[in-house]
Amino acid sequence: MSYVDEVIERVVKENPNEPEFHQAVKEVLDSLRPVVDANEKAFRRDALLERLVNPERQIKFRVPWIDDNGQVHVNTGYRVQFNSAIGPYKGGLRLHPSVNLGIIKFLGFEQIFKNSLTGLPIGGGKGGSDFDPKGKSDREIMAFCQSFMSELCKYIGADTDVPAGDIGTGAREIGYMFGQYKKLRGLFEGVLTGKGLSYSGSLARTEATGYGLLYIVEEMLKCHGKTIEGKTITVSGSGNVAIYAIEKAQQLGAKVVTCSDSTGWVYDPDGIDVAALKEIKEMKRQRLTEYKNYRPNAEYHEGKGVWNIKSDIALPCATQNELGLEDAKTLVANGVIAVAEGANMPTTAEATDYFQANGVFFLPGKAANAGGVATSALEMSQNSERLQWSFKKVDAKLKGIMVDLYHNIDEAAKRYGFEGNFVVGANIAGFEKVVDAMNAQGIV
Ligand code: NDP
Protein backbone atom coordinates (compact mmCIF):
# COMPACT_ATOMS: atom_id res chain seq x y z
CA MET A 1 0.00 0.00 0.00
CA SER A 2 1.30 3.48 -0.77
CA TYR A 3 2.33 5.78 2.07
CA VAL A 4 -0.55 8.15 1.28
CA ASP A 5 -3.12 5.33 1.40
CA GLU A 6 -1.66 4.03 4.66
CA VAL A 7 -1.94 7.42 6.32
CA ILE A 8 -5.49 7.99 5.03
CA GLU A 9 -6.49 4.59 6.42
CA ARG A 10 -5.00 5.41 9.83
CA VAL A 11 -6.71 8.81 9.94
CA VAL A 12 -10.10 7.19 9.29
CA LYS A 13 -9.45 4.50 11.90
CA GLU A 14 -8.02 6.77 14.59
CA ASN A 15 -10.52 9.60 14.19
CA PRO A 16 -13.91 7.86 14.08
CA ASN A 17 -17.10 9.84 13.41
CA GLU A 18 -15.23 12.76 11.84
CA PRO A 19 -16.30 12.52 8.16
CA GLU A 20 -15.44 16.12 7.27
CA PHE A 21 -11.92 15.65 8.64
CA HIS A 22 -11.50 12.42 6.65
CA GLN A 23 -12.77 14.21 3.53
CA ALA A 24 -10.28 17.06 3.92
CA VAL A 25 -7.32 14.75 4.60
CA LYS A 26 -8.19 12.56 1.60
CA GLU A 27 -8.58 15.56 -0.67
CA VAL A 28 -5.23 17.03 0.36
CA LEU A 29 -3.18 13.82 0.50
CA ASP A 30 -4.61 12.53 -2.78
CA SER A 31 -3.39 15.58 -4.60
CA LEU A 32 0.01 15.44 -2.87
CA ARG A 33 0.74 11.98 -4.32
CA PRO A 34 3.24 13.22 -6.92
CA VAL A 35 5.36 14.96 -4.24
CA VAL A 36 5.02 12.16 -1.69
CA ASP A 37 5.85 9.47 -4.24
CA ALA A 38 9.00 11.37 -5.23
CA ASN A 39 10.15 11.59 -1.57
CA GLU A 40 8.55 8.50 -0.09
CA LYS A 41 11.59 7.10 1.70
CA ALA A 42 12.51 10.30 3.53
CA PHE A 43 8.90 11.19 4.32
CA ARG A 44 8.25 7.72 5.77
CA ARG A 45 11.40 7.79 7.87
CA ASP A 46 10.43 11.19 9.29
CA ALA A 47 6.74 10.19 9.71
CA LEU A 48 6.06 13.44 7.92
CA LEU A 49 2.46 12.77 6.94
CA GLU A 50 1.60 11.39 10.39
CA ARG A 51 2.94 14.60 11.92
CA LEU A 52 1.00 16.67 9.41
CA VAL A 53 -2.39 15.04 10.04
CA ASN A 54 -2.09 15.07 13.85
CA PRO A 55 -2.79 18.46 15.43
CA GLU A 56 -0.04 19.78 17.66
CA ARG A 57 -2.73 20.33 20.29
CA GLN A 58 -6.53 20.16 20.56
CA ILE A 59 -8.39 21.83 23.38
CA LYS A 60 -11.99 21.09 24.33
CA PHE A 61 -13.72 22.99 27.12
CA ARG A 62 -16.99 23.70 28.88
CA VAL A 63 -18.72 27.03 28.17
CA PRO A 64 -21.45 27.77 30.74
CA TRP A 65 -23.55 30.92 30.30
CA ILE A 66 -26.83 32.36 31.61
CA ASP A 67 -29.74 33.35 29.34
CA ASP A 68 -32.09 36.29 29.88
CA ASN A 69 -34.47 34.15 31.95
CA GLY A 70 -31.77 33.06 34.39
CA GLN A 71 -31.43 29.61 32.82
CA VAL A 72 -27.90 28.22 32.65
CA HIS A 73 -26.75 26.62 29.38
CA VAL A 74 -23.60 24.62 28.72
CA ASN A 75 -21.94 24.58 25.30
CA THR A 76 -18.69 22.97 24.19
CA GLY A 77 -15.75 25.10 23.06
CA TYR A 78 -12.87 23.96 20.85
CA ARG A 79 -9.50 25.23 19.71
CA VAL A 80 -7.39 23.02 17.48
CA GLN A 81 -3.80 24.26 17.16
CA PHE A 82 -2.85 22.26 14.12
CA ASN A 83 0.52 23.34 12.83
CA SER A 84 2.85 26.18 13.86
CA ALA A 85 5.77 25.40 11.51
CA ILE A 86 5.57 28.70 9.63
CA GLY A 87 4.08 31.01 12.27
CA PRO A 88 1.64 31.42 15.17
CA TYR A 89 -1.60 29.43 14.80
CA LYS A 90 -4.17 31.44 12.88
CA GLY A 91 -7.76 30.60 11.97
CA GLY A 92 -11.31 31.57 12.78
CA LEU A 93 -13.84 30.71 15.48
CA ARG A 94 -17.07 29.14 14.21
CA LEU A 95 -20.26 29.48 16.26
CA HIS A 96 -22.90 27.17 14.83
CA PRO A 97 -24.96 24.27 16.28
CA SER A 98 -23.34 21.85 13.81
CA VAL A 99 -19.84 22.44 15.23
CA ASN A 100 -18.00 19.38 16.55
CA LEU A 101 -14.37 18.33 16.85
CA GLY A 102 -14.29 16.75 13.36
CA ILE A 103 -15.49 19.94 11.67
CA ILE A 104 -12.97 22.08 13.57
CA LYS A 105 -10.21 19.62 12.63
CA PHE A 106 -11.17 19.70 8.94
CA LEU A 107 -11.10 23.48 9.00
CA GLY A 108 -7.82 23.61 10.94
CA PHE A 109 -6.16 21.15 8.60
CA GLU A 110 -7.18 23.11 5.50
CA GLN A 111 -6.05 26.30 7.20
CA ILE A 112 -2.43 25.08 7.36
CA PHE A 113 -2.14 25.07 3.56
CA LYS A 114 -4.28 28.16 3.00
CA ASN A 115 -2.16 30.19 5.39
CA SER A 116 1.00 28.93 3.75
CA LEU A 117 -0.32 30.00 0.33
CA THR A 118 -0.75 33.61 1.46
CA GLY A 119 3.04 33.86 1.64
CA LEU A 120 2.71 35.31 5.16
CA PRO A 121 4.11 33.83 8.41
CA ILE A 122 0.99 32.20 9.89
CA GLY A 123 0.42 28.62 11.05
CA GLY A 124 -2.89 26.74 10.96
CA GLY A 125 -5.59 26.52 13.63
CA LYS A 126 -9.34 26.72 14.05
CA GLY A 127 -11.87 26.85 16.87
CA GLY A 128 -15.45 27.48 17.79
CA SER A 129 -18.44 26.16 19.64
CA ASP A 130 -21.80 24.46 19.08
CA PHE A 131 -23.46 27.63 20.41
CA ASP A 132 -26.16 29.03 18.10
CA PRO A 133 -26.10 32.85 18.01
CA LYS A 134 -29.42 32.98 16.11
CA GLY A 135 -32.28 34.47 18.11
CA LYS A 136 -30.09 35.39 21.09
CA SER A 137 -30.18 38.85 22.67
CA ASP A 138 -27.04 41.01 22.69
CA ARG A 139 -26.64 40.33 26.40
CA GLU A 140 -26.81 36.57 25.84
CA ILE A 141 -24.22 36.81 23.06
CA MET A 142 -21.97 38.78 25.40
CA ALA A 143 -22.44 36.24 28.20
CA PHE A 144 -21.49 33.40 25.89
CA CYS A 145 -18.49 35.21 24.38
CA GLN A 146 -17.14 36.17 27.81
CA SER A 147 -17.45 32.63 29.11
CA PHE A 148 -15.87 31.22 25.95
CA MET A 149 -12.92 33.62 26.21
CA SER A 150 -12.47 33.03 29.96
CA GLU A 151 -11.14 29.60 29.06
CA LEU A 152 -9.71 30.25 25.59
CA CYS A 153 -7.52 33.13 26.84
CA LYS A 154 -5.21 30.60 28.53
CA TYR A 155 -4.12 29.22 25.18
CA ILE A 156 -3.90 32.20 22.82
CA GLY A 157 -1.79 35.35 22.45
CA ALA A 158 -0.47 37.75 19.82
CA ASP A 159 2.63 35.60 19.27
CA THR A 160 1.14 32.13 19.87
CA ASP A 161 -2.38 31.82 18.45
CA VAL A 162 -4.50 34.56 16.90
CA PRO A 163 -8.14 33.56 16.24
CA ALA A 164 -10.53 35.45 13.96
CA GLY A 165 -14.18 35.36 12.84
CA ASP A 166 -15.96 32.64 10.88
CA ILE A 167 -19.59 31.52 10.55
CA GLY A 168 -21.52 33.10 13.42
CA THR A 169 -18.56 35.13 14.67
CA GLY A 170 -18.67 38.66 13.30
CA ALA A 171 -17.61 42.09 14.57
CA ARG A 172 -19.96 41.96 17.57
CA GLU A 173 -18.66 38.64 18.86
CA ILE A 174 -15.00 39.55 18.24
CA GLY A 175 -15.57 42.77 20.23
CA TYR A 176 -16.97 40.94 23.26
CA MET A 177 -14.20 38.33 23.13
CA PHE A 178 -11.48 40.97 22.81
CA GLY A 179 -12.87 42.89 25.79
CA GLN A 180 -12.85 39.79 27.96
CA TYR A 181 -9.30 38.82 26.90
CA LYS A 182 -8.05 42.30 27.74
CA LYS A 183 -9.73 42.25 31.14
CA LEU A 184 -8.42 38.81 32.09
CA ARG A 185 -4.90 39.08 30.68
CA GLY A 186 -4.39 42.82 31.17
CA LEU A 187 -3.03 43.05 27.64
CA PHE A 188 -4.17 45.26 24.77
CA GLU A 189 -2.57 43.22 22.01
CA GLY A 190 -3.38 41.81 18.58
CA VAL A 191 -4.77 38.56 19.95
CA LEU A 192 -7.79 38.50 17.62
CA THR A 193 -8.29 39.78 14.10
CA GLY A 194 -11.47 41.16 12.59
CA LYS A 195 -11.48 43.75 15.36
CA GLY A 196 -13.46 47.00 15.10
CA LEU A 197 -11.70 49.98 13.55
CA SER A 198 -11.86 51.98 16.80
CA TYR A 199 -9.79 49.37 18.66
CA SER A 200 -7.00 48.42 16.25
CA GLY A 201 -8.86 46.53 13.55
CA SER A 202 -7.77 46.76 9.92
CA LEU A 203 -9.54 48.64 7.19
CA ALA A 204 -10.69 46.26 4.42
CA ARG A 205 -10.71 43.19 6.71
CA THR A 206 -14.52 43.03 6.49
CA GLU A 207 -14.39 43.07 2.70
CA ALA A 208 -11.25 40.96 2.33
CA THR A 209 -12.49 37.41 1.78
CA GLY A 210 -15.16 38.37 -0.75
CA TYR A 211 -12.96 40.92 -2.53
CA GLY A 212 -10.01 38.50 -2.57
CA LEU A 213 -12.21 35.84 -4.14
CA LEU A 214 -13.01 38.13 -7.05
CA TYR A 215 -9.39 39.26 -7.40
CA ILE A 216 -8.17 35.70 -7.89
CA VAL A 217 -11.02 34.83 -10.26
CA GLU A 218 -10.23 37.99 -12.24
CA GLU A 219 -6.55 37.03 -12.51
CA MET A 220 -7.35 33.46 -13.54
CA LEU A 221 -9.76 34.63 -16.25
CA LYS A 222 -7.31 37.29 -17.43
CA CYS A 223 -4.63 34.63 -17.89
CA HIS A 224 -7.07 32.75 -20.12
CA GLY A 225 -8.11 35.77 -22.19
CA LYS A 226 -11.42 36.32 -20.37
CA THR A 227 -12.89 38.98 -18.05
CA ILE A 228 -15.45 39.22 -15.29
CA GLU A 229 -17.18 42.13 -16.98
CA GLY A 230 -20.52 41.16 -18.48
CA LYS A 231 -20.66 37.75 -16.80
CA THR A 232 -23.65 36.40 -14.89
CA ILE A 233 -22.70 35.05 -11.46
CA THR A 234 -24.54 32.84 -8.99
CA VAL A 235 -23.56 33.21 -5.32
CA SER A 236 -24.73 31.17 -2.33
CA GLY A 237 -24.77 32.51 1.23
CA SER A 238 -25.54 36.00 2.42
CA GLY A 239 -22.98 36.40 5.18
CA ASN A 240 -19.65 38.19 5.30
CA VAL A 241 -18.02 36.36 2.39
CA ALA A 242 -21.08 36.38 0.11
CA ILE A 243 -21.95 40.06 0.60
CA TYR A 244 -18.50 41.36 -0.30
CA ALA A 245 -18.06 38.88 -3.14
CA ILE A 246 -21.29 40.23 -4.63
CA GLU A 247 -20.17 43.83 -4.07
CA LYS A 248 -16.80 43.35 -5.80
CA ALA A 249 -18.29 41.29 -8.64
CA GLN A 250 -20.66 44.13 -9.39
CA GLN A 251 -17.84 46.69 -9.21
CA LEU A 252 -16.02 44.60 -11.82
CA GLY A 253 -19.03 44.72 -14.13
CA ALA A 254 -20.71 41.35 -13.51
CA LYS A 255 -24.35 40.71 -12.72
CA VAL A 256 -24.91 38.61 -9.57
CA VAL A 257 -28.39 37.09 -9.62
CA THR A 258 -28.62 34.91 -6.48
CA CYS A 259 -27.85 34.66 -2.79
CA SER A 260 -29.09 32.35 -0.02
CA ASP A 261 -29.26 31.70 3.70
CA SER A 262 -29.86 28.58 5.74
CA THR A 263 -33.60 28.60 5.05
CA GLY A 264 -34.01 29.81 1.46
CA TRP A 265 -32.63 31.63 -1.54
CA VAL A 266 -33.24 34.67 -3.71
CA TYR A 267 -33.22 35.03 -7.49
CA ASP A 268 -33.05 38.63 -8.58
CA PRO A 269 -32.87 38.80 -12.40
CA ASP A 270 -31.96 42.51 -12.24
CA GLY A 271 -28.94 41.86 -10.04
CA ILE A 272 -28.75 41.59 -6.24
CA ASP A 273 -29.20 44.89 -4.41
CA VAL A 274 -26.15 44.85 -2.10
CA ALA A 275 -27.30 47.81 -0.02
CA ALA A 276 -30.57 46.00 0.72
CA LEU A 277 -28.70 42.79 1.51
CA LYS A 278 -26.40 44.58 3.96
CA GLU A 279 -29.36 46.21 5.68
CA ILE A 280 -31.18 42.87 6.05
CA LYS A 281 -28.22 40.75 7.12
CA GLU A 282 -25.65 43.07 8.71
CA MET A 283 -27.87 45.65 10.37
CA LYS A 284 -31.24 44.03 11.06
CA ARG A 285 -30.01 40.40 11.25
CA GLN A 286 -33.16 39.21 9.47
CA ARG A 287 -34.00 36.33 7.11
CA LEU A 288 -33.77 36.61 3.32
CA THR A 289 -37.57 36.52 3.12
CA GLU A 290 -37.30 40.28 3.74
CA TYR A 291 -35.49 40.82 0.41
CA LYS A 292 -38.75 40.93 -1.58
CA ASN A 293 -39.81 43.99 0.43
CA TYR A 294 -36.89 45.85 -1.13
CA ARG A 295 -37.06 44.26 -4.62
CA PRO A 296 -40.61 43.23 -5.61
CA ASN A 297 -39.37 41.69 -8.91
CA ALA A 298 -37.12 39.22 -7.12
CA GLU A 299 -38.16 35.65 -6.30
CA TYR A 300 -37.76 34.04 -2.87
CA HIS A 301 -37.73 30.22 -2.59
CA GLU A 302 -37.56 28.00 0.48
CA GLY A 303 -34.78 25.36 0.60
CA LYS A 304 -31.87 25.03 -1.83
CA GLY A 305 -31.81 25.99 -5.51
CA VAL A 306 -29.15 28.59 -6.31
CA TRP A 307 -27.22 26.21 -8.58
CA ASN A 308 -30.25 25.68 -10.86
CA ILE A 309 -29.93 29.24 -12.12
CA LYS A 310 -27.93 29.63 -15.34
CA SER A 311 -24.62 31.44 -14.82
CA ASP A 312 -21.10 31.84 -16.21
CA ILE A 313 -19.42 31.79 -12.81
CA ALA A 314 -20.55 30.09 -9.58
CA LEU A 315 -19.27 31.22 -6.18
CA PRO A 316 -20.35 28.99 -3.27
CA CYS A 317 -19.94 31.20 -0.17
CA ALA A 318 -22.10 29.57 2.56
CA THR A 319 -20.83 26.35 4.10
CA GLN A 320 -19.22 22.94 3.54
CA ASN A 321 -20.70 20.39 1.10
CA GLU A 322 -23.40 22.71 -0.23
CA LEU A 323 -22.65 21.97 -3.91
CA GLY A 324 -23.00 18.30 -4.86
CA LEU A 325 -22.68 16.24 -8.02
CA GLU A 326 -26.23 16.95 -9.26
CA ASP A 327 -25.65 20.69 -8.79
CA ALA A 328 -22.37 20.39 -10.71
CA LYS A 329 -24.11 18.61 -13.59
CA THR A 330 -26.74 21.34 -13.76
CA LEU A 331 -24.14 24.12 -13.70
CA VAL A 332 -22.09 22.46 -16.44
CA ALA A 333 -25.19 21.83 -18.57
CA ASN A 334 -25.99 25.53 -18.18
CA GLY A 335 -22.54 26.54 -19.46
CA VAL A 336 -20.65 27.56 -16.31
CA ILE A 337 -17.00 28.38 -17.09
CA ALA A 338 -15.58 28.92 -13.59
CA VAL A 339 -16.32 27.88 -10.02
CA ALA A 340 -14.44 29.42 -7.09
CA GLU A 341 -15.00 28.49 -3.46
CA GLY A 342 -15.65 31.44 -1.15
CA ALA A 343 -16.60 29.04 1.63
CA ASN A 344 -14.43 26.24 3.01
CA MET A 345 -14.98 22.93 1.15
CA PRO A 346 -18.46 23.86 -0.18
CA THR A 347 -18.00 21.54 -3.17
CA THR A 348 -18.12 17.77 -2.64
CA ALA A 349 -15.25 15.68 -4.01
CA GLU A 350 -17.51 14.21 -6.75
CA ALA A 351 -18.67 17.65 -7.84
CA THR A 352 -15.07 18.92 -7.96
CA ASP A 353 -14.06 15.96 -10.14
CA TYR A 354 -17.01 16.61 -12.45
CA PHE A 355 -16.07 20.27 -12.93
CA GLN A 356 -12.47 19.37 -13.68
CA ALA A 357 -13.45 16.58 -16.07
CA ASN A 358 -15.65 19.03 -17.96
CA GLY A 359 -13.05 21.77 -18.39
CA VAL A 360 -14.48 24.17 -15.81
CA PHE A 361 -11.86 26.36 -14.09
CA PHE A 362 -12.09 25.30 -10.45
CA LEU A 363 -10.43 27.28 -7.65
CA PRO A 364 -10.47 25.52 -4.24
CA GLY A 365 -11.27 27.46 -1.07
CA LYS A 366 -7.80 27.26 0.39
CA ALA A 367 -6.66 29.46 -2.50
CA ALA A 368 -9.82 31.34 -3.42
CA ASN A 369 -10.87 32.49 0.06
CA ALA A 370 -7.35 33.06 1.42
CA GLY A 371 -7.81 36.84 1.16
CA GLY A 372 -9.54 36.84 4.54
CA VAL A 373 -6.75 35.30 6.51
CA ALA A 374 -4.14 37.19 4.49
CA THR A 375 -5.73 40.46 5.54
CA SER A 376 -5.94 39.17 9.11
CA ALA A 377 -2.17 38.74 8.93
CA LEU A 378 -1.94 42.33 7.67
CA GLU A 379 -4.02 43.33 10.71
CA MET A 380 -1.43 41.54 12.90
CA SER A 381 1.36 43.51 11.19
CA GLN A 382 -0.45 46.79 11.81
CA ASN A 383 -1.01 45.84 15.48
CA SER A 384 2.68 45.00 15.89
CA GLU A 385 3.77 48.37 14.56
CA ARG A 386 0.88 50.20 16.31
CA LEU A 387 -0.27 51.74 13.06
CA GLN A 388 -3.41 51.67 10.95
CA TRP A 389 -2.95 51.55 7.20
CA SER A 390 -5.36 53.16 4.72
CA PHE A 391 -8.09 51.15 3.01
CA LYS A 392 -6.31 51.71 -0.29
CA LYS A 393 -3.04 50.30 1.03
CA VAL A 394 -4.61 47.18 2.55
CA ASP A 395 -6.78 46.56 -0.51
CA ALA A 396 -3.76 46.92 -2.83
CA LYS A 397 -1.75 44.46 -0.72
CA LEU A 398 -4.70 42.05 -0.72
CA LYS A 399 -4.93 42.22 -4.49
CA GLY A 400 -1.18 41.66 -4.84
CA ILE A 401 -1.36 38.63 -2.55
CA MET A 402 -4.25 37.06 -4.51
CA VAL A 403 -2.53 37.65 -7.87
CA ASP A 404 0.73 36.11 -6.57
CA LEU A 405 -1.19 33.24 -5.03
CA TYR A 406 -2.84 32.43 -8.36
CA HIS A 407 0.52 32.29 -10.15
CA ASN A 408 2.04 30.25 -7.33
CA ILE A 409 -0.62 27.50 -7.56
CA ASP A 410 -0.67 27.62 -11.35
CA GLU A 411 3.10 27.18 -11.45
CA ALA A 412 3.08 24.32 -8.90
CA ALA A 413 0.42 22.47 -10.91
CA LYS A 414 2.45 22.89 -14.11
CA ARG A 415 5.67 21.78 -12.39
CA TYR A 416 4.13 18.41 -11.56
CA GLY A 417 2.38 17.96 -14.93
CA PHE A 418 -1.12 18.93 -13.76
CA GLU A 419 -1.58 22.16 -15.70
CA GLY A 420 -4.93 23.79 -14.93
CA ASN A 421 -5.59 21.63 -11.87
CA PHE A 422 -5.64 24.28 -9.16
CA VAL A 423 -6.58 21.77 -6.46
CA VAL A 424 -3.31 19.94 -6.97
CA GLY A 425 -1.44 23.22 -7.42
CA ALA A 426 -2.80 24.74 -4.19
CA ASN A 427 -2.13 21.67 -2.09
CA ILE A 428 1.40 21.21 -3.41
CA ALA A 429 2.38 24.88 -3.16
CA GLY A 430 0.97 25.15 0.38
CA PHE A 431 2.56 21.87 1.45
CA GLU A 432 6.08 22.59 0.15
CA LYS A 433 6.63 25.62 2.38
CA VAL A 434 5.24 23.90 5.48
CA VAL A 435 7.38 20.80 4.91
CA ASP A 436 10.48 22.89 4.40
CA ALA A 437 9.85 24.64 7.74
CA MET A 438 9.04 21.37 9.52
CA ASN A 439 12.23 19.77 8.26
CA ALA A 440 14.32 22.76 9.30
CA GLN A 441 12.92 22.65 12.84
CA GLY A 442 13.58 18.98 13.54
CA ILE A 443 11.30 16.44 15.17
CA VAL A 444 9.23 18.62 17.54
P1 NDP B 1 -21.46 34.12 7.97
O2 NDP B 1 -21.92 33.56 9.25
O3 NDP B 1 -21.27 35.61 7.86
O4 NDP B 1 -22.41 33.68 6.78
C5 NDP B 1 -22.66 32.33 6.50
C6 NDP B 1 -23.74 32.24 5.44
O7 NDP B 1 -23.93 30.90 5.08
C8 NDP B 1 -25.08 32.75 5.94
O9 NDP B 1 -25.80 33.25 4.84
C10 NDP B 1 -25.71 31.48 6.49
O11 NDP B 1 -27.11 31.53 6.56
C12 NDP B 1 -25.24 30.46 5.49
N13 NDP B 1 -25.11 29.16 6.14
C14 NDP B 1 -24.38 28.84 7.24
N15 NDP B 1 -24.52 27.55 7.56
C16 NDP B 1 -25.36 27.04 6.63
C17 NDP B 1 -25.89 25.75 6.41
N18 NDP B 1 -25.58 24.70 7.22
N19 NDP B 1 -26.72 25.60 5.34
C20 NDP B 1 -27.02 26.63 4.52
N21 NDP B 1 -26.54 27.88 4.69
C22 NDP B 1 -25.73 28.07 5.73
O23 NDP B 1 -20.09 33.34 7.62
P24 NDP B 1 -18.95 33.76 6.60
O25 NDP B 1 -19.53 34.46 5.43
O26 NDP B 1 -17.87 34.39 7.38
O27 NDP B 1 -18.41 32.32 6.18
C28 NDP B 1 -18.94 31.58 5.07
C29 NDP B 1 -17.96 30.51 4.65
O30 NDP B 1 -16.72 31.13 4.27
C31 NDP B 1 -17.58 29.49 5.73
O32 NDP B 1 -17.32 28.24 5.09
C33 NDP B 1 -16.30 30.05 6.30
O34 NDP B 1 -15.51 29.05 6.92
C35 NDP B 1 -15.65 30.57 5.04
N36 NDP B 1 -14.62 31.59 5.21
C37 NDP B 1 -14.88 32.76 5.84
C38 NDP B 1 -13.91 33.72 5.95
C39 NDP B 1 -14.17 35.07 6.54
O40 NDP B 1 -13.28 35.91 6.49
N41 NDP B 1 -15.35 35.34 7.06
C42 NDP B 1 -12.54 33.47 5.47
C43 NDP B 1 -12.39 32.24 4.72
C44 NDP B 1 -13.40 31.34 4.64
P45 NDP B 1 -27.87 32.19 7.82
O46 NDP B 1 -27.81 33.67 7.59
O47 NDP B 1 -29.24 31.64 7.75
O48 NDP B 1 -27.11 31.74 9.02
* Residue of 261, 263, 376 to mutate, ligand 1, most atoms within 8 A of C-beta: 261
Atom of ligand 1 nearest to the CA of 345: 32
pLDDT digits (tens, 9 = 90+) for 350-373: 999 999 999 999 999 999 999 999
For 261-284, what is the mean pLDDT? Answer: 97
Average pLDDT, the chain: 97
Cα dist. 156→103, 125, 185, 434 in Å? 20, 11, 11, 21
pLDDT tens-digit profile of 404-416? 999 999 999 999 9
**pLDDT tens across 46-62, in order?**
999 999 999 999 999 99
Residue 349's pLDDT band, with cuts at 50, 70 and 90, is very high
Report residue 200's pLDDT band, with 50, 70 and 90 as the boundaries.
Answer: very high
Q: Kindly report the protein residue whose alpha carbon is nearest to atom 4 of ligand 1.
A: 239
Question: Can you tell me the mean pLDDT for 108-116?
Answer: 98
CA of 180 to the centre of ligand 1 (A): 25
pLDDT at res. 167: 94
Average pLDDT on 313-322 reads 97
Q: Kindly report the protein residue whose alpha carbon is nearest to atom 22 of ligand 1.
A: 262
CB 207 less than 6 A from any atom of ligand 1: no
Question: Which pLDDT score is estimated for 387?
Answer: 97
Ligand 1 atom closest to residue 281's alpha carbon, by position in its atom list: 46
Tell me the average pLDDT across 160-169.
97
As a whole number, mean pLDDT of residues 363-389 equals 97
Specify the pLDDT at position 176. 98
User: Where in the sequence numbering do the catalytic residues fall?
Assistant: 126
> Is the beta carbon of 315 within 6 A of some atom in ligand 1?
no
Our answer on whether the CB atom of 262 is closer than 6 Å to any ligand 1 atom is yes
pLDDT in tens, 210-258: 999 999 999 999 999 999 999 999 999 999 999 999 999 999 999 999 9
Distance 437 CA to ligand 1 centre (A): 32
Q: How far is the CA of 162 from the centre of ligand 1 (A)?
A: 20
Q: Whose CA is nearest to atom 48 of ligand 1?
A: 262
Q: State whether the beta carbon of 318 lies less than 6 angstroms from ligand 1.
A: yes
CB of 213 sitting under 6 A from ligand 1:
no
Please choose from 262, 283, 288, 300 the residue to mutate so as to test ligand 1's pocket, defined by most ligand atoms within 8 A of CB. 262
Query: pLDDT value at position 440?
Result: 98
CA of 291 to the centre of ligand 1 (A): 18
Residue-level pLDDT at 327: 98
CB of 93 sitting under 6 A from ligand 1: no
Q: What is the mean pLDDT of residues 183-192?
A: 98
What is residue 202's predicted lDDT score, i.e. its pLDDT? 98
pLDDT value, residue 60: 98
- Does the beta carbon of 110 sit less than 6 angstroms from any atom of ligand 1? no
Judge if the beta carbon of residue 237 lies within 6 A of ligand 1: yes
pLDDT in tens, 277-300: 999 999 999 999 999 999 999 999
Probe residue for ligand 1, chosen from 107, 117, 132, 240 as the CB with the greatest number of ligand atoms within 8 Å = 240
pLDDT band at residue 425 under the 50/70/90 scheme:
very high
Q: Whose CA is nearest to atom 40 of ligand 1?
A: 372
Ligand 1 contacts CB of residue 261 (under 6 A): yes
Give the nearest ligand 1 atom to 320 CA: 32
168 alpha carbon to ligand 1 midpoint, in Å?
Answer: 7
Q: How far apart are CA 34 and CA 404, in angstroms?
A: 23
